[in-house]
């Protein structure tokens, strides 16, 4: 099985490079549809693939209008759904790079690393996942393990539309395997904070800045007061951070502005912090409210925290031991970042969510991945699947331990 992964190593790298040439930014519906075609073709070599339409979501535009946002299809593959051990494998085929970006091709750096859009996050990871599954199908114990692959088109914008599918999948499997990139040295992410994106729509009262200034209610000033109050939350509770990222709105210089949109992200270490955070956000909003001024809250906590509980420790120990068998040193460390692994864990699923390629500088035009990591990571995943299939790693027991 491991030899088969090695034999296909170059093909796995080449197809990831090809996929990176297709822009599939989260809002580029045409590009996402184009990207779905080779993914469906590759997945179909393992079984029947479903295209799952996702519901529309809402967004707050810069002018304060609440608009409907369409989403591309999720892709789902199910193999042996009645087998005694069930694994959920997830990834996303959207990237952070918009349709108009000039960052569209993969090049090889002087140090040998591949540099390109999505090569690490996570078209390389998807290629690793599918290479591991293809090799695993030849294993004698494969019949004891079933799996579902779910590829979403909206992870980079918070998985708002795909969240119900992730929750359903997380509730129905024993172990989760997600293909976000590992760190450049192969370190896995253990604990993750929770995260939420928020948009505050502040409505004031427009007025002429000279003739009728006193009757105006300045939405930009209200947003600034709220921003100051939100920023002051940092340091008040251990592990909670609030990042005020942007204020949209404004008006001509001779007009009191009546609309502003304040956008911020919050991170929290555990479920107990959520109640405190939401109450603190409401208090901050009050700084911008008053006669003629209203504040509406949009968004919320969409990625629950993923703490490193004992069941997760057991799973990571098993991954470390499997890696040692093939000469890979597996280490792990906590991260403030979030991914679909948060959603799966919230549904009661133990899992590893950084099984993709080794790389770095994601979400920037410096994004890179090490080409040799494609075979390394695919072999690790194939070995984990084999051990889950033959019971060397007890998936149902891990799931039970997390519930306990």
Q: In this predicted model, what pLDDT tens digit does every residue of 256-267 receive, in sequence order?
A: 999 999 999 999
Among 303, 324, 345, the domain-final residue is 303
The answer to whether residues 206 and 143 belong to one domain is no
Among 248, 282, 303, the domain-final residue is 303
Average pLDDT (202-220) is: 97
The answer to whether residues 373 and 242 belong to one domain is no
The answer to whether residues 221 and 317 belong to one domain is no
Segment 163-179, tens digit of pLDDT: 999 999 999 999 999 99
Among 271, 303, 335, the domain-final residue is 303
Q: What is the pTM of this model?
A: 0.95
Contact predicate 131/374, CB 8 Å: yes
The answer to whether residues 291 and 150 belong to one domain is no
Question: So what's the pLDDT on residue 220?
Answer: 97
The answer to whether residues 175 and 29 belong to one domain is yes
Question: So what's the pLDDT on residue 389?
Answer: 98
- CATH assignment at residue 368: 3.40.630.10
The answer to whether residues 133 and 215 belong to one domain is no
The answer to whether residues 172 and 245 belong to one domain is no
The answer to whether residues 56 and 167 belong to one domain is yes
**At residue 8, does pLDDT exceed 80?**
yes
The answer to whether residues 288 and 221 belong to one domain is yes
Structural domain harbouring 125: 2-61+70-192+306-403
CA angle 359, 365, 368 (to 5 degrees): 20
Question: So what's the pLDDT on residue 184?
Answer: 87
The answer to whether residues 13 and 125 belong to one domain is yes
Question: So what's the pLDDT on residue 236?
Answer: 97
**At residue 404, does pLDDT exceed 80?**
no
- CATH assignment at residue 251: 3.30.70.360
Segment 343-373, tens digit of pLDDT: 999 999 999 999 999 999 999 999 999 999 9
Segment 40-78, tens digit of pLDDT: 999 999 999 999 999 999 999 999 999 999 999 999 999
The answer to whether residues 7 and 135 belong to one domain is yes
Question: So what's the pLDDT on residue 256?
Answer: 97
**At residue 403, does pLDDT exceed 90?**
no
Q: How many domains in the chain? A: 2
Question: So what's the pLDDT on residue 95?
Answer: 98
Give the long-range contacts of residues 105-113, CB within 8 A, separation 24 or more.
105/20, 105/21, 106/17, 106/20, 106/21, 108/371, 109/368, 112/370, 112/371, 113/359, 113/368, 113/369, 113/370, 113/371
Confidence of residue 237 (pLDDT cuts 50, 70, 90): very high
The answer to whether residues 320 and 238 belong to one domain is no
């Amino acid at each position: 099985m491991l030899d088969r992964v090695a034999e296909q190593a170059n093909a796995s790298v080449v197809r990831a490079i090809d996929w990176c040439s297709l822009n599939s930014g989260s809002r580029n519906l045409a590009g996402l549809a184009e990207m779905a075609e080779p993914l469906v073709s590759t997945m179909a070599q393992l079984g029947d693939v479903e295209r799952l339409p996702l519901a529309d979501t809402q967004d707050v535009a810069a002018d304060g209008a609440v608009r409907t946002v369409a989403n591309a299809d999720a892709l789902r593959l199910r193999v042996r759904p009645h087998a005694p051990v069930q694994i959920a494998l997830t990834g996303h085929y959207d990237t952070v790079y918009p349709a108009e970006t000039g960052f569209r091709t993969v090049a090889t750096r002087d140090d040998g690393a591949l540099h390109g859009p999505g090569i690490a996050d996570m078209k390389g990871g998807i290629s690793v996942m599918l290479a591991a599954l293809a090799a695993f199908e030849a294993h004698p114990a494969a019949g004891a393990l079933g799996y579902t692959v779910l590829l979403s088109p909206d992870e980079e914008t918070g998985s708002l539309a795909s969240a119900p599918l992730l929750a359903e999948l997380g509730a129905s499997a024993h172990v989760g395997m997600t293909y976000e990139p590992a760190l450049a040295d192969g370190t896995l992410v253990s604990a993750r904070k929770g995260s939420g994106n928020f948009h505050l729509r502040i409505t004031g009262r427009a007025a002429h800045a000279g003739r009728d200034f006193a009757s105006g209610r300045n939405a930009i000033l209200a947003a600034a007061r709220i921003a100051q109050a939100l920023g002051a939350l940092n340091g008040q509770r251990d592990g909670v951070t609030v990042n005020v990222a942007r204020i949209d709105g404004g008006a001509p210089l001779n007009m009191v502005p009546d609309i502003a949109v304040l956008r911020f992200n919050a991170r929290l270490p555990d479920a107990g912090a959520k109640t405190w955070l939401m109450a603190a956000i409401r208090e901050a909003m009050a700084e911008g409210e008053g006669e003629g001024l209203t504040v509406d809250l949009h968004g919320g906590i969409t990625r629950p925290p993923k703490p490193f509980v004992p069941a997760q420790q057991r799973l990571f120990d098993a991954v470390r031991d499997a890696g040692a068998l093939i000469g890979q040193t597996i280490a792990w460390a906590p991260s403030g970042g979030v991914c679909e692994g948060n959603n799966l864990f919230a549904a009661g699923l133990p899992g590893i969510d950084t099984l993709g390629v080794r790389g770095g500088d994601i979400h920037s035009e410096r994004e890179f991945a090490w080409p040799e990591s494609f075979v390394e990571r695919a072999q690790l995943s194939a070995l984990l699947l084999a051990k889950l299939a033959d019971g060397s790693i007890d998936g149902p027991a891990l799931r039970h331990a997390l519930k306990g």
